[in-house]
Chain A
Amino acid sequence: MTKEEADNGRDDMVIDVPGQANAVPDGFNANYLRIYYGKLFPHADMFKWMSYGNDGKHPGCDKSYFGRREFSFTLENDIYIRFQSFNSVTELENSIKEKCPFKIDIGPVYSVDPAKRHAYAQSGNNVFTPVERELVFDIDISDYDDVRYCCTGADVCLECWPLMTIAIKVIDTSLRDDFGFNHILWVYSGRRGVHCWVCDGKARRLTNEQRAAIADYFHVYKGNENSQKKISLPGLVLHPFLARSYTEVLKGFFEAKLLPNQNLLASEERYEKILEMIPDASVASELRRRWQENKRASMSKDDINIVRWEQLKSILQSGKQKMQGLRRCVEEIVFSYTYPRLDMEVSRHMNHLLKAPFCVHPKTGRVCVPIDPNNCDEFDPTTVPTLSQLLEELNRGGLRQDAENEWDRTSLGESVAFFRTSFLQPLLKSCKEEIENSYNAKLQQSKNDLSWSHVSLKVLLKRTKPTFPSLQLIHQIPSMKWF
């Protein structure tokens, strides 16, 4: 045993298991997944979440609710199976453990069990249709490739990851303050982005049109490689949502972090992109002339990007600029570099499938762990636990008889604990209240509907569903306990 290997056995409980045996080579495969699903994946928590309180004993619970939720599995070899549904946590857990899916997606809750959808398709009255679905968002850092120079495509580092952080801040604040949503789960997508699940009852029951409206409310960045001007902020002032996002999040981040870290004004190639966004050619030329002359900021020790940005701002925001298009130019530049770029299609439709939290990303091996929006500055995608790392941690823990809460022995424990305390428990409490209130309201309604003094027997027979022969009904005096 080498010194290194000896040092690896940090855990006091480990006595004689050599460090080498604990080491799990990096990777992603069915064998690793089998152990992950067997010991670490939080099946019960996922079930509780997806049940939204309907797995309780209260008479107002809808027992069919969980069974009407669609899941889809992507198996090894890219085999994709849709419309999976389960009636209990055991069914869900067994199916996952047995099939070992490389990816699990969550779809909507349908009007009937997806497994029975073919039986209903014939009637032509759209009986098989989504009825509930979380409001979801998907932000991918590869959509920001034109504003980050440190990485491209699927890569992510600590220089550019903050773009995701500020996206979370902007959207999360708006979802809570503007739209009044409370039960919001942010999840790392495992490689290069974040997902957002808004789980309030009101959110789950939004129509496609309402989802599209919310997506459009957030839609500011409108462009692709071919369009020149991707952010247009007309109007004398910004809408309060945009103004708040700018002053509380975007301006500070752009000026203090993105600008210097990505050297946005340091070289000609990079500052040309910004100059292109200035609609007044004479202003752009003036700046270009200045920056070409002063290749080095000789007068000050400050970062050249910050110096040049101040010059740009002072010209554009000086009282002399009368031109309409220049009024919001500074904000437009900041927005185009930093404002969240959402995938609109993901949010618009109820039937869009989205990857489940706590899945493992096949390309990186990282687990899709929740992110705390109140502490998202601290989140580091490069230290998210990987599959092999977790298995190694399990190994180090030694053999244990009880299979409960194995994740506590691993780095995953923190994530599961956060999921439960910050998201799941408050959500379930609220769901329980909702179910009780709704049930009580129905009770009250049916009490109001019936007036005992003049009710005829015929009416009685229609209103109740007798499980015993009608003859007996006539002799029974209806009592409140039926309800």
Chain B
Amino acid sequence: MEVVQSQRKSSSNNVIVSILPLYRSAPPLEVRLEDFEFFAIDRLRVLKGLSDGLCRGKKPEEMEKLVLDLWKANMRHPQAVEEVNKDIISHFVLRLVYCRTEELRKWFLSMETTLFRHRFRWGSSEAQRALMSEFKLPYKAVSNAEFESLKDKLGQVARSMGQTLAAADAIFYKVPFEEVPDLVAGRRVFIHKGHAYVAINQVVSLVVTQFRSYLSKALILTNRKWTSTIREQEKDRLTPIVEALCTSYLGPDYSQQQEFGEISIKDIDQVAKTSFPLCMRHLFEKVKEDHHLKHGGRMQLGLFLKGVGLKLDDALAFWKAEFAPKVSAERFDKEYAYNIRHNYGREGKRTDYTPYSCQKIISVTPGIGDHHGCPYRHFSEENLRAALVRMGVSSRAVEDVMDKVHNRHYQLACTLTFEAVHGSSCDAGINHPNQYFIDSQRVLQSKNGSVA
């Protein structure tokens, strides 16, 4: 197993040891089945967080911090050996998950390459050089004589990028220009007679290209093996885990109310106006308007309200009251009450159902007469604009939101709505309606000193 030790001094002057594996071969380790799944989920949190950051156009410095934070939060382990094992195992499990279609492979390749690029940069220059030799890159270190003759030009290139040719950068590598297309494209290297002169700090580009190319080929091979043997062999053990992993929602499940304790019936109207995301606002308005909701809507809104803190008795009272003009009390008890109690885990197999995440809500397609699903996905442009304006989103922000919608980034659209309505940023992005609610309440509380 090729692994390179590198050390990094954190801002508090403690040495952080991070080891960067190359994932060339699957390790001959024994893995517990739970670890198989949990390690993969933790790594997936890192990759999805990365993906989110890139989607939101974070600047390079912000991305660097994001990667570090994500890695520390999900993949760190006090024992270095354990950390390396988790790193390697999780990578290989996710290869199984993400090898299966072109789109999945593209996403995984992109995220793993980005992750690798950042982790490579954290390493010391010795560690970096060791990794480069692992990749057998066709580079040659530039001799002192050649360096002297080219010093002026190399200095010019550095200064054209706003840098200086420090003594440390006196180490240059000579590679065929074809090996570093992105450096050539950006005119960030001096080229002469087909050779590019790459500074040590640009070497990242070389290495990352190699990493990417290797992983790309490996994914195709993995897919073949998966389709031909693994999937069938493991159909009772690993296959269900693998197939579930790429669609899994990874955040908190909001089934237990958290900070804000209970919400009672009389509070609902108020919080609906201030803190409900658009999907729930819409359902709420429709219930008030039509005095009815079909099953999909009842589930989506009902579970959401449970997550918000509505207790069972209040929930029963709420629905009963709203349906009253169309459904008599007896009929309500007969036809609807059971399901509500079921949602709260008081009936049947007593599963305490969890409120739906954005991923789940976006994936459903509402039919005629339905009002659930994600409005950013399903509303017509006209209706969506009107709804956003009613929520108090400024016309400038509406355009930004619509832009995200056109590019099918529905959760980002919801995040921008949140930011526009509350006047504060939501860095983590919206992944769950109940998260929207909690964040909203937090913002309002800090503004007013009380829960709105």
Contact = CB atoms under 8 A, between A and B. Distances in A.
Interface of A: 177-181, 202, 206, 209-210, 212-214, 216-217, 234-243
B450 to A, nearest CB: 49
B159 A235 contact: yes
B46 to A, nearest CB: 27
Given A212-B185, A213-B182, A214-B184, A239 B160 contact: yes
B181 A212 contact: yes
A202 B187 contact: no
Most interface-central of B159, B181, B186, B192 (chain A CB within 10 A): B181
B406 to A, nearest CB: 22
A235 B191 contact: no
Q: How large is the interface on B (under 10, 10 to 19, 20 to 34, 35 or more residues)?
A: 20 to 34
A210 B178 contact: yes
B193 A177 contact: yes
A238 B160 contact: yes
Interface in B185-200: 185-187, 190-195
Contacts of A202: 178, 194
A235 B184 contact: no
The interface residues of chain A, by DSSP majority, are classed as helix
Contacts of A181: 194
B152 to A, nearest CB: 9
Most interface-central of B153, B156, B186 (chain A CB within 10 A): B156
A241 B191 CA distance: 9
B153 A240 contact: yes
Interface string B88-132: 000000000000000000000000000000000000000000000
A318 B192 CA distance: 33
A216 B185 contact: yes
A128 to B, nearest CB: 19
A179 B157 contact: no
Contacts of A216: 184-186
Nearest to A200: B194
B39 interface: no
7 contacts: A177-B192, A179-B193, A181-B194, A213-B182, A214-B185, A236-B159, A237-B156
A411 B181 CA distance: 43
B179 to A, nearest CB: 9
B181 A235 contact: no
B191 A179 contact: yes
Contacts of A241: 187, 191
B105 to A, nearest CB: 15
Contact of B162 (A206, A214, A235, A243): A235
B185 A213 contact: yes
A239 B184 contact: no
A237 B154 CA distance: 12
B198 to A, nearest CB: 14
B157 A240 contact: yes
Given A206-B178, A213-B182, A178 B191 contact: yes
A177 B193 CA distance: 5
B451 interface: no
Interface string B373-403: 0000000000000000000000000000000
